[in-house]
A and B are shown apart, each in its own frame.
Chain A
Amino acid sequence: MARAVSTRRTAVFTIAAWIVALIIFFPILYTIVTSFKSETEAIKGFNLIPSGTVESYAAVQAQSNYFKFFLNSVVISVGSTLLALALAIPAAWSMAFSPTRRTKDILMWMLSTKMMPAVAVLVPIYLIFRDTGLLDTRFGLTVMLTLINLPIVVWMLYTYFREIPGEILEAARMDGAGLLQEIVHVLTPMAVPGIASTLLLNIILAWNESFWTIRLTTTNAAPLTAFIASFSSPQGLFWAKLSAASTLAIAPILIMGWFSQKQLVRGLTFGAVK
């Protein structure tokens, strides 16, 4: 009896999970479906079965160079992630292993910067970028995205490092390991999964960031988010092309996410599920 109830409950939860997943995934699915329609089909109304034409993809590639935007996206997201990690690892390290009375306050202050609407600082940042010649440069955007994602990176790493028992580090110290040996032989191998999942998540966040990437670039440093935006039109005449551009823009990150999902889930639930 108990088993029957539990099976029924599992079935209900599974169906509910599938429904929620489909609702979340549906916009992406419809974008992909629409990208394989002609423009006439696309504006006709709701239709889940496309004609299968690839004319939108050809038009998108003919109109603008996808690979240039793709390359910018790669450089900016990977660059900003590596820079953020380089800054966050020592920060999280010291907060996790040598906390002071102010550590919690510092962490909260860092997180509070994420609560501020980005548009509130748009004008000063735009002016700084303009005056320092950083507008429409990959370097400028890399720095910007590093700063935006730094609080999340520090928080994730801090949570991860906190899970490493302090006694293991003390054991290494007793065993004669110096600071460098402790980092190389004990800490880093234990922290690699955490660093890897933080890296993956940050690349995704940086890849998808559109507020600053669209506003601080024009052509030279424009990544794929700007590429999608360039196909939107107030008249709404280019749904199929816009969908094709969107599909092309999200495809790399979807593929990367698919292959690293195990690592990502572990990173996101670390501390909660062990």
Chain B
Amino acid sequence: MGKIILNKVNKSFGATQVIPGIDLAIEDGEFVVFVGPSGCGKSTLLRLIAGLEDTTSGTIEIDGKDVTSAAPAKRGLAMVFQSYALYPHMTVKNNIAFPLKMAKTDPAIIEKKVTEAARVLNLTNYLERRPGQLSGGQRQRVAIGRAIVREPSAFLFDEPLSNLDAALRGTMRLEISELHHQLKTTMIYVTHDQVEAMTMADKIVVLNAGNIEQVGSPMDLYNRPANLFVAGFIGSPRMNFVTGEAAKPWNAPTVGIRPEHIRLSRESGTWKGVVGVAEHLGSDTFLHVHVDGVGTMTVRADGDFAGTHGDAVFLTPDENRIHRFDDKGLAIR
């Protein structure tokens, strides 16, 4: 079991309020991602759930039990840190066994659990090594192993892939998702990378300045962003925003159009523009097109689109995929 409920959780550091008051329910077995820009309070929120920070007010419940003032170890959670936080003086085996030793588990059971975790995480050949002798990916796996053996009611991940290179990040992303399918345990994952959020989450919680901007499934947030912030944050490349006169035809102060929802033509279209930069990725081409009176629009074209700097092109937004926002930046449904 791993149902976590936050009731009006508030956190201040001195006079600075980091989290003004959050209500959130995380269901058992869910993979929840907290996403937001640096300093939005997502890591603080995770640390409050872990018990590494005290809440200023509000309550935290895990499986129906109020754990607001319980010590971290008493909450039945396991955490994987951004820096891995392995014990450098211990072997991989002792690192993974550490939480079990602290719980005074029978040595035979420790041996069995460590061997099993090492097998699952492909660490069997590294058990006698120290963290300093491992690569970044292997260290991260040790940190996950240390979390798994405790059989926690929920896993907390604090930007666990930030220190890895792009290729390894992709692999580890898959491994963590697969692990979630295997274990079916609640996972809370903090990241500033919206790609990680979109690809891994059952439910995304978008945070901004300590407030929840929107909660929903990845496709929910992509298709129906509640406001300008979510619209701009979810999706890569980010959504184009058109304001003023250019937005008038849609009866809204601001409209948002995703780069993949703009049709590109050499002959005709709604807006005429000039290609500034063309980014050829192979599978796709991202064009940054300067349109008079509208601004720079990012457009996603086919990988074999041959446009280059200075080319004249026409853009036509897909009328069915336009997002309209009011003066306050809230979506007009």
Partner of B85 from the list A171, A181, A185 (CB cut-off 8 Å) is A171
Min C-beta distance of B2 to chain A, whole Å = 15
- A173–B52 touching, CB < 8 Å: yes
> Is the beta-carbon distance between A176 and B103 smaller than 8 angstroms?
yes
Contact assessment for A177 and B88 in the assembled complex, using a CB-CB cutoff below 8 Å: no
Chain B residues with CB under 8 Å of A172's CB are 87, 98
Contacting pair B50 A174 (CB below 8 A): yes
Determine if A168 and B99 form an interchain contact, defined as CB atoms under 8 angstroms apart. no
Task: Give A182 Cβ to nearest chain B Cβ, in Å.
Answer: 10
A145-178 near B? 1/0 per residue, CB < 8 Å = 0000000000000000000010110111111110
A168 to B79, CA, bound (A): 11
Determine the chain B residues whose CB is within 8 A of the CB of A190 once the complex forms.
87-89
User: Contacts A167-B83, A181-B102: A175 and B73 contacting too (C-beta < 8 A)?
Assistant: yes
Complex Cα distance, B49 from A151, in Å, reads 39
Kindly provide the distance from the CB of B255 to the nearest chain A CB, expressed in whole angstroms.
44
Q: Is the CB of A170 within 8 A of B103?
A: no
Q: Is the CB of A175 within 8 A of B83?
A: no
The distance from the CB of B153 to the nearest CB of chain A, in whole angstroms, is: 13
Which of A165, A170, A174, A190 gathers most chain B CB within 10 Å? A174
Give B70-92 interface residues, CB cut-off 8 Å to A.
71-73, 77-79, 81-83, 85-89
- Whose C-beta in chain B lies nearest to the C-beta of A173? B72
CB distance from B214 to the nearest CB of A (A): 29
A175 and B89 contact, Cβ closer than 8 Å, known pairs A167-B81, A167-B83: no
A168-202 interface bits toward B, Cβ cutoff 8 Å, 1 = contact, 0 = none: 10111111110001000110011000000000000
Q: A175-B98, A175-B146, A177-B102 are in contact. Are A170 and B71 (CB under 8 A)?
A: no
The main secondary structure of chain B at its interface with chain A is loop
Quick one: closest B residue to A177, CB to CB? B102
B198: shortest Cβ distance to chain A, in Å? 27
Alpha-carbon distance A165/B88, docked complex (angstroms): 11
Q: Are A167 and B85 in contact (CB under 8 A)?
A: yes
| Complex contact B81–A170 (CB within 8 A) | yes
The contact of A165 among B71, B78, B83, by CB within 8 Å, is B83
Place the interface of chain A in its size category. Answer: 10 to 19
Smallest CB-CB separation from B149: which chain A residue? A175
Q: Mark contacts of B51-80 with chain A using CB atoms, 8 A cut-off: 1 yes-contact digit, 0 otherwise.
A: 010000000000000000001110001110
Cβ 8 A contact of A176, one of B86, B88, B102: B102
Asked if residues B89 and A189 are in contact (CB atoms below 8 Å), the reply is: yes
Q: How far is B309's CA from A152's CA once the two chains are assembled, in angstroms?
A: 63
Cα-based distance from A170 to B53 in the complex (angstroms): 10
CB distance from A170 to the nearest CB of B (A): 5
* Inter-subunit contact A175/B99 (CB<8 Å): yes
Q: Which chain A residue lies CB-closest to B82?
A: A167
| Chain B residues whose C-beta falls within 8 Å of the C-beta of A186 in the assembled complex | 87
Residues of A within 8 A of B87 (CB): 168, 171-172, 185-186, 190
Asked whether, in the complex, the Cβ of B102 is within 8 Å of the Cβ of A170, the reply is no
Closest to B14 in A: A101
Interface centre among B85, B99, B146, B150 (most CB of A within 10 A): B85
A180 CB to closest chain B CB (Å) equals: 11
Cα distance A190–B131 in the bound complex, in angstroms: 13
The interface residues of chain A lying within 8 Å CB-to-CB of B146 are: 171, 175
Q: In the bound complex, how far is the Cα of B52 from the Cα of A175, in angstroms?
A: 12
B88 and A174 form a contact (CB under 8 A): no
Rounded to whole Å, the gap between the CB of B159 and the closest CB of chain A is 11
Q: A190 — nearest CB in chain B belongs to which residue?
A: B89
* Cα–Cα, bound, A170→B79 (Å): 9
Nearest-CB distance from A226 to chain B (Å)?
A: 42
CB within 8 Å for A175 and B102 given contacts A170-B52, A190-B88, A190-B89:
yes
Q: Give Cα A165–Cα B83 distance, bound, in whole angstroms.
A: 9
Cβ-closest chain A residue relative to B102: A176
Task: Choose among B52, B73, B89 the residue that contacts A177 (Cβ–Cβ < 8 A).
Answer: B73
With A176-B99, A177-B102, A181-B102: A171-B89 Cβ-Cβ less than 8 Å: no
Chain B residues within an 8 Å CB radius of A185: 87, 98
Chain A residues with Cβ below 8 Å from B102 are 175-177, 181
A86 to chain B, nearest CB (A): 23
Are B73 and A176 touching (Cβ within 8 A)?
yes
Could you tell me the distance between the alpha carbons of A165 and B131 in the complex, rounded to whole angstroms?
14
A116 to B100: give the CA distance in the assembly, Å.
53
7 tightest A-B CB contacts, nearest first: A176-B102, A171-B85, A175-B99, A176-B73, A167-B85, A189-B89, A167-B81
Q: 19 A-B Cβ contacts within 8 A?
A: A167-B81, A167-B83, A167-B85, A168-B85, A168-B86, A171-B87, A173-B52, A173-B73, A174-B77, A174-B78, A175-B73, A175-B98, A175-B99, A176-B150, A177-B98, A177-B102, A181-B102, A189-B89, A190-B87
A171-B86, A175-B150, A176-B102 given. 4 additional CB < 8 A pairs?
Answer: A171-B85, A173-B71, A185-B87, A186-B87
